[in-house]
Structure 1
Amino acid sequence: MALSIFRKAPKFWERRGPTSLVLWPLSWLYGIALRIRRLIHDLDLSKIKPAPVPIIIIGNIRVGGTGKTPIVIALAEQLSQLGWKPGIISRGYGASSQIAPVQVKCSSDPSIVGDEPVLIAKRTSDQFPIWVFPKRQQSIKALLKHFPEVNVIISDDGLQHHGLIRWPAREGGRDVEFVVRDDRGEGNRFLLPAGPLREPATPERDATLFTGTPKNQKSGILDEYFLGRRSFNLASCLGTPYQLINPSNTQSFEQITEQYLPKNIAAIAGLGNPKRFFDDLARHAVTGKQIPLPDHVAYTSEFFASIKAQCILITEKDAVKCTGISDERIWVVPMSLHLPDNLMEWLQSILQRPDPRRYTL
């Protein structure tokens, strides 16, 4: 809803002021609707059955990207190394209308299945089955029908999707819900549309994954919302840039800064939080013109031709939408995340719990 109204996150979402206060009544109505949906869910009026395998939900309570997709990739790879057989489901945001779940491959069209699922497929070389559809229960059924060996499913987003029913008991079950949080925190902490929150910031999720240091945490103060909660800090790492039209051609950040003046470098990011990409580049001493764009934006050759720069740096998420563009100035910057050992140990302890349905009478 919010992204269809605001192509970019409005500044008034970050602090309370006249605009957010005027919109607050709409946020109050939105909160009422959320409570009604939760009541229907808690009363089990929808009669939706839990999936036959545990689900790990990687989501956020703030509108816009907070770095979920790299976490999904890292989690699938590390679970696979531990002997699990993960599958991945996604809504496929930005995809064209679909009437049934679709499997995503490296060769899939991002305009049909969404840019993030294609990025996951490319980064993992089709190692894991990936299915997309707004109704995630149907994606789960399709995935397990074609890949019955899958024993854990990772959902890219879905915290607010009530079709994903948890196992019978939060402590005895095996579902896991992660809230991903970046350096923007929860902004003014209002619900949509007065603020950026999809749901109230209440301590109901299993753990928080920090992909950046929130502003108040930098001063040594942690939000009350996060006190006593299980949390993990994830370290990101930029890889060696490669040329869009020739991925085997690479150059280091040092080579880029030696070859081009800052005024001849442009960095482009169509992400929920473009500033994070620009900050990561700055840590590698790469500076220049910064062009933040809305999340899931589409690219054309004409757009890049209009940019006056000798070197254009883009994210891998943007690169999957540039396959038909042959501009030798474009370099793709890969990014990966490391999941700490204590996170994987805790996750293993949850997934290894017995199926609670075996003990029901």
Structure 2
Amino acid sequence: MSIETTITRAWQRKAAWLWLLLPISWLYGLLVFLRRQAYRLGMLSSFRAPVPVMVIGNVTVGGSGKTPLIITLVSYLQQQGVKVGVISRGYGGDTSQMPALVTKESLPSTVGDEPCLIVNTTAAPMAVCPNRKQAITTLLNAHPDLQLIIADDGLQHYALQRDIEWIVVDVARGFGNEQLLPTGFLREPIARLKNTTVIYHEKPNGVSALNDSENLAQRLTMQLQPDELYPLLSVDELVELNAAKSAIPLSANAVPSKGDKVHAISGIGYPQRFFATLSTLGFDVIGHPYPDHHNFSLTELLQYTEHPMIVTTKDAVKIRTVLLTEISKINAIKSNESIDSHNGNDIRALINRLWILPVTATLSDTCYQTLQQQLTALDINMATSSHS
């Protein structure tokens, strides 16, 4: 078990030994405060983009639903005629090849898994680089007509000035012991939520545990709605691979159904949410959590036999690359044995067992109303106020 996984589990159960780390959290908090003040007072320089920037982030470590939210926002803005682009640090990618534009042909190992997912889903212009100024410059050089740039997970990147901030708070997860890293999982104090736009990520059809006194009709909320399972490789892709005389005959398999025992494989920031969603859908879940942005190996995937495997769309981006690469290796030597000693029949069985559970972020009406007001203030006009 990795150190990251150990710490994450300790945060989840509010382990008592975490309080031994409190002096480190105090030091971390002081550094966070001094750094932010340095930017506020101009002691450290920050970049103002030539177009408005909207930052989507959170004050906690781990997944809060930012990526599905960004996908929903980008799709909505595209429908409204707004020319929107996205930037990201490209976590998990090859920084030596950044800044880089993200295309549908980009590999997760080059630009990161989340950027691949965002572009494959929305086809939005996107660039990645740890230096957000370089990412924006690269993006605008390629797409000078953009009206708005959404920065993925740039809340603490104060070197980038922003016009809009949306902070996502996972209501089910809360703030743990409400301590800063490493005692707790807060990147910044809870007070950071003041004077910003807070989006409360709630369970579908659930009742909020935060701000109970607030008028629910005015709450800015989002929910992640699960969609239908679909196979890692589509029927069309299987046909195409077979037409190319693949050394591994591939065929479609029956979709897992309610009551089935399944392996839930997850390398996202908060895998328990994924496991809970599958349980709610009626599956008998065997959960296998991995660190966030984990690079799955073929050996890891092949160990889960007997039952169907269900993964997130984020993990599927990397797993798909792993399997297609292995198929290419096997085909290249025209044998049922791959150069990594994996039997072709094992690969075929693995592909048949793999399924993806997509989720869609659905936002409350007040989220769209707030967005429209914020964009109007920036002289960005949408074609219509409808979000149906």
TM-score of the superposition, structure 2-length normalised?
0.79
| 2:125 counterpart letter in structure 1 | P
Tell me, yes or no, if the aligned pair for 1:55 and 1:154 is still in contact at 8 Å: yes
* 1:234 matches 2:222: yes
1:257 corresponds to which residue? Answer: 257
Q: Provide, for residues 190-239 of structure 1, a one-character-per-residue CA deviation record: whole Å limited to 9, x for no partner.
A: 1111110111011335222222359xx96x75369x97997422122222
| 2:46 counterpart letter in structure 1 | I
Deviation at 1:299?
A: 1.4
Q: Distance in 2 between matches of 1:228 and 1:155?
A: 29
1:199 corresponds to which residue? Answer: 188
Q: Provide, for residues 238-260 of structure 1, a one-character-per-residue CA deviation record: whole Å limited to 9, x for no partner.
A: 222121133559889xx5226xx
| 2:312 counterpart letter in structure 1 | T
1:272 corresponds to which residue? Answer: 269
Which is further off, 87-96 or 332-341? 332-341
Tell me, yes or no, if the aligned pair for 1:181 and 1:208 is still in contact at 8 Å: no
| 1:236 counterpart letter in structure 2 | L
Deviation at 1:349?
A: 1.0
| 2:190 counterpart letter in structure 1 | A
Q: 2:372 aligns with which of 340, 348, 354?
A: 348
Q: Distance in 2 between matches of 1:107 and 1:182?
A: 36
**CA 1:15–1:330: 2 relative to 1, 3 Å:** closer
SS in 2 for 1:6: helix
**CA 1:99–1:300: 2 relative to 1, 3 Å:** closer
Q: What is the count of residue pairs matched by the alignment? A: 334
Q: Distance in 2 between matches of 1:344 and 1:192?
A: 33
| 1:42 counterpart letter in structure 2 | R
* 1:70 matches 2:58: no
Map 1:1-361 to 2 at 5 A. 6-14=4-12, 18-98=16-96, 100-124=98-122, 126=123, 128-166=124-162, 174-202=163-191, 203-213=193-203, 222=210, 231-246=219-234, 256-257=256-257, 262-263=260-261, 265-323=262-320, 324-325=322-323, 326=347, 327-354=351-378
Q: Distance in 2 between matches of 1:8 and 1:53?
A: 42
Structure 1 or 2, whichever has the larger Rg, is 2
SS in 1 for 2:42: coil
| 1:294 counterpart letter in structure 2 | P
Which is further off, 6-15 or 148-157? 6-15
List gaps (5 residues or longer) in structure 1.
167-173, 356-361
TM-score of the superposition, structure 1-length normalised?
0.84
Q: Distance in 2 between matches of 1:195 and 1:228?
A: 30
SS in 1 for 2:287: strand
1:171 corresponds to which residue? Answer: none
SS in 2 for 1:257: coil
| 2:226 counterpart letter in structure 1 | L
Tell me, yes or no, if the aligned pair for 1:31 and 1:191 is still in contact at 8 Å: yes
**CA 1:276–1:16: 2 relative to 1, 3 Å:** closer
Which is further off, 231-240 or 242-251? 242-251
Q: Distance in 2 between matches of 1:313 and 1:302?
A: 17
| 2:18 counterpart letter in structure 1 | S
**CA 1:18–1:184: 2 relative to 1, 3 Å:** same
**CA 1:81–1:66: 2 relative to 1, 3 Å:** same
**CA 1:15–1:319: 2 relative to 1, 3 Å:** closer
| 1:246 counterpart letter in structure 2 | S
Tell me, yes or no, if the aligned pair for 2:172 and 2:202 is still in contact at 8 Å: yes
SS in 2 for 1:288: strand
List gaps (5 residues or longer) in structure 2.
239-251, 324-346, 380-388
Tell me, yes or no, if the aligned pair for 1:12 and 1:195 is still in contact at 8 Å: no
CA RMSD of aligned residues (A): 2.7
SS in 2 for 1:328: helix
SS in 1 for 2:19: helix
Q: Distance in 1 between matches of 2:17 and 2:215?
A: 33
Tell me, yes or no, if the aligned pair for 1:71 and 1:337 is still in contact at 8 Å: yes
